[in-house]
Structure 1
């Protein structure tokens, strides 16, 4: 079953990818990811956030994200924290 997220939440994911922001992601299963937001990809009719952690790309299902934080970015105004 495909799970949808709100348009507002999707906008935040698009913003961090567009800016190539340094982010922290926490999933609903309390998994943590930390790296650079690189893209949103459609895989089998579901959207995934691609995060570059070191030299490895991690794929996180957007509907599984509980918290998205943009941290350590310049300018400071590009940093934020959103929880769903």
Structure 2
């Protein structure tokens, strides 16, 4: 599983010039906990990985999408 950390995100961004134009958003563990406060750190990482693997640019990352991902992860408990 990929590391879903700020350090990994920064490492990826360092491949670009600091002057490179970009836009985007990122979600933190607290965002996933606001969906389901019982998530373990492992379930949060699994949710992030699944959301990344299934990302559709036409849908993006939004609360409905992430809620569906979290629901799938917790259904495997």
Normalising by structure 2, what TM-score? 0.30
Normalising by structure 1, what TM-score? 0.28
Could you say which structure has the larger radius of gyration?
2
The structure in which a higher percent of residues are helix is: 2
Q: Which has the higher contact order (CA 8 A, sep 6+)?
A: 2
The structure in which a higher percent of residues are strand is: 1
